[in-house]
Amino acid sequence: MLPKSAVTASFAVFVLGLLTVARPARSQDDKLKPEQLIAKHLESIAPAATLKELKTIATAGDAHVEYRVGGQTNFDGVGNLLSDGISSRLALKFSAKDYPGEGIVSDGSKILVTQISTGKRSNLGQFLFDNDFLLKEGLLYGSLTSAWALLHVSAKQPKLDVTGIKNINGRQLYEMKYIPKKGGSGIVTYLYFDPQTFHHVRSQFSSEGVSPEFLNINTNGTKERVVFTEDFDDFSDVDGLTLPHSYKIDFVIDARNKEFAGSWTYTVKQAVRNQTLDRQLFSVN
């Protein structure tokens, strides 16, 4: 077994790897304006007429969770991801007493994050509860839901900046910084797009100096980092929409008294659009 100092050093390198992005010089071809990039992205999902009539998206599939640091969790399960307008609901279920899964609901203005035991949420659940703007803004789940922020830019009115093509884990991707009009203090958001297809393939939400209320630490000038990333792949047709069928979350906490690294994967097996959904599914009361 490695000494704690070695483990901590290795973990720090891992986190820095998540945050580090190579910044090659811009070419003339990567100077898209935000509205141009978003237009191309929306075209990659479906024609404008199809998107205009989009009401709901419902998916079901397989789920997996693995904790690499801070726990021994490694389970297979099932999940579903539902959306109706700007409302969304993700349910991941596992047959484990200590970790039954996640239930994350947003009606667009309020959220509900279930507890894994009385008075306790998972690390992932607590992060989303504390940073509820991610759900209210529609930044989670990408184009897998009708609540996707880029489908509602005119209503959300975020500040956007296309920072060019970046090397992300050996892959050339367009990078766009997203700053919500309201909320999001302390969280830096980048969205990434394939330059050939303009599919949204990655989101990264990161923070330094996270509040001690979340991490239960004593502030002493030590830098803490939280990195939450989503990756999307396996794009295929769903009733006229081109949607990802592979969705992965990586979540890392690197703090003085708390280290955690875990991943969740959701593989879509069934998907339909514009099916009438019970609005009670999105109740947060």
Q: What is the per-residue pLDDT across 14-23, written as a single tens digit (0 to 9) for each?
A: 444 444 444 4
Tokens standing for residue 225: 């980092």
For position 255, what pLDDT does the model report?
86
Domain region containing 254: 4-282
Which residues contact residue 177 at a Cβ distance below 8 angstroms, ignoring those fewer than 6 apart?
160, 161, 163, 188, 189, 190
* pLDDT at residue number 224: 83
Phi, psi torsion values for 151, nearest 5 degrees: -85, -10
Its pTM surpasses 0.75:
yes
- Mean pLDDT, the chain, rounded, equals 88
Q: How far apart are CA 168 and CA 203, in angstroms?
A: 11
Amino acid at 28: Q
Identify the pLDDT of residue 177.
Answer: 97
Predicted confidence (pLDDT) at residue 13 exceeds the cutoff of 50: no
- DSSP label of 26: P
* pLDDT, average across residues 105-134: 96
Q: How many domains does the chain have?
A: 1
Q: Please report the pLDDT score of residue 10 as a whole number.
A: 45
Tokens 């897998």 found at: 144
Domain harbouring 258, CATH code: 2.50.20.10
Residue 154 banded pLDDT, cuts 50, 70, 90: very high
pLDDT digits (tens, 9 = 90+) for 203-250: 999 997 644 444 444 444 556 899 999 999 999 999 999 999 999 999
Q: What is the pLDDT of residues 170-200, one digit of tens each?
A: 999 999 999 999 877 789 999 999 999 999 9
